[in-house]
Amino acid sequence: MVGHKALRINGTRLNETLQSTCTQWGALSSSTGIRRLTLSQADKDVRDWLVNECKELGCEVKVDQMGNIFAIRPGKGEGLKPIAMGSHLDTQPAGGRYDGILGVQSALEVLRTLHENDVATQHPITLIDWTNEEGARFPGAMMCSGVWSTKSSTPLEACYRVTDSDGIDMRTALEEIGYLGMTPCDYRENGLEAYFELHIEQGPKLEQEGKSVGIVTAVQGMKWFAVRVTGVEGHSGTTPMPARSDALVTAALLISAVRTTALETNLGVATVGVITSDTQFQATIPSGIDFIIDVRCPTDAQLAALCAAIFTAFDAIVASESNRTAYSVTRSWGLPESVFHPSCIAAVRAAAVAEVGELQCMEMKSGAGHDAAWTSKVVPSSMIFVPSEDGVSHNPAEYTSPEHCALGAQVLLQAVLAYDGRIT
């Protein structure tokens, strides 16, 4: 039997599996990108494949009430909870091949490596595929890890009622693809000892600093707000300019203020990525505009301060503007700052340093949200980052080299074994 420090994942197999499954299930014909929306046919097909692969490795597979997949490799210890690895297989509508997918495929590669080397761990080792991390089909990012943690403001039954753009609710979608499981989606009834997640950075820092591995210590806080601006419809040719109540004009000023406030306060980042208009005709003055603000900051205090500054700027704009419009705000989603557990961070750091040396490692916070953020609320958790070329993600051009993919999987393997404490 190979000692655990000498165990090596099969990088060629990992990368071939990643690419072949992306090509087979969800590939875009016009690029190297992928469209694998959660609970779609492509998602069902890749889930079925994953379940079969894990069962062939001797894993017990459980599916919970939100469709989260848990593939459990038994351990030697009596009554011990699993040490888990995972991420997600769903993508953006025109996403890349690495966001989330690398984490699940690397977890599978770890299970394959343990199986073919006949490695016995004390704790069970579990692969998790979390449902609807992206929130691209059913609004609400990291939805189902949030339900599992019980710390999300959107509980299970409310998530079941969330609908996609075709009016299909999430419970129906789960039933249609056969992944409405019976296992409780609750960490208190389906618990873990710890959770590790390998992910691409989705930003430029590792590449800019010439580092190979990110040791992730936290995920920054984030909030989404739905803003509605209301005015009055009117004829674009006959309504005098001073008499108009143009919702789009006010919305444009507010959206500009989001960017300006984030730049001036330097507290974090803020984005408006979705805009819709009630009026879709060029000869009519818009009467209603909806847009969504995404605000993210390193700490919860900074997040609260930036949000307050944005809405103070909104109030000033509306008060001084002669356009006779109004706005309302609803907080639509949020994730508090998530600080990872020292013991998990230490396991990642030791594995990374042993693999590439101290100078190739960098401690960092995640600017993007991840399922590990929710797991960290209830079990010890941490993450491993590998570089994203040019910092590109949520884009068909998203790319991480095969070497960095394999490196991340190797660090994941060794971090999990280190946390397990010993193997025999």
| Residues 114/125, Cβ–Cβ less than 8 Å | yes
Give the separation between CA 263 and CA 86, rounded to whole angstroms.
Answer: 35
Given a contact cutoff of 8 angstroms between Cβ atoms, the answer to whether 98 and 398 are in contact is yes
253, two tokens = 């000023």
Other CB atoms within 10 A of residue 320 CB: 8
Positive or negative, the Cα torsion across 347, 345, 142, 194?
Answer: positive
With vertex at residue 269, the alpha carbon angle to CA 309 and CA 388, rounded to the nearest 5 degrees, is: 175
pLDDT in tens, 204-234: 999 999 999 999 999 999 999 999 999 999 9
Report how far residue 315's alpha carbon sits from residue 207's, in angstroms, rounded to the nearest whole number: 40
Q: In the numeric block, which tokens belong to residue 406?
A: 């394999």
Query: Measured between alpha carbons, how far is 180 from 176 in angstroms, rounded to an integer?
Result: 9
d(Cα 352, Cα 411) in Å, to the nearest integer? 6
Q: What is the pLDDT of residue 31?
A: 87
Please, are residues 145 and 374 in contact by the beta-carbon 8 Å criterion?
Answer: yes
Residue length of the chain: 424
CATH superfamily entry for domain 4-220+337-423: Zn peptidases (3.40.630.10)
221-335 belongs to which CATH class?
A: alpha beta
CA distances from 125 to 3, 84, 99, 237, 333 (A): 17, 6, 22, 68, 32
> pLDDT at position 2, please?
47
Query: Backbone phi, then psi, for 149, in 5-degree steps?
Result: -75, -20
CATH 3.40.630.10 domain range(s) in the chain? 4-220+337-423
User: For residues 236 and 357, what is the distance between their CA atoms, to the nearest angstrom?
Assistant: 65
Which stretches in the chain have pLDDT values below 50? 1-3, 422-424
For residue 163, the tally of other CB atoms under 10 A from its CB is 14
Q: Give Cβ neighbours of residue 403 (< 8 Å, ≥ 6 apart).
A: 11
The segment(s) of the chain belonging to CATH 3.30.70.360 are: 221-335
Beta bridge partners of 226: 292, 330
| DSSP string covering 139-184 | SSTTHHHHHHHT-SSS-HHHHHT-B-TTS-BHHHHHHHHT---SB-
Q: How many CA atoms lie less than 13 Å away from 345 in the CB half-sphere?
A: 16
Residue 340 carries which DSSP code? P
- The token duo for 81 is 């909870």
Strand order in the sheet with 269-277: 269-277, 288-297, 221-230, 326-335
pTM across the whole model: 0.93
Given the structure tokens 């875009």, which residue do they identify? 28
Position 116 scores a pLDDT of 97
Judge contact between 55 and 49, C-beta under 8 A. no
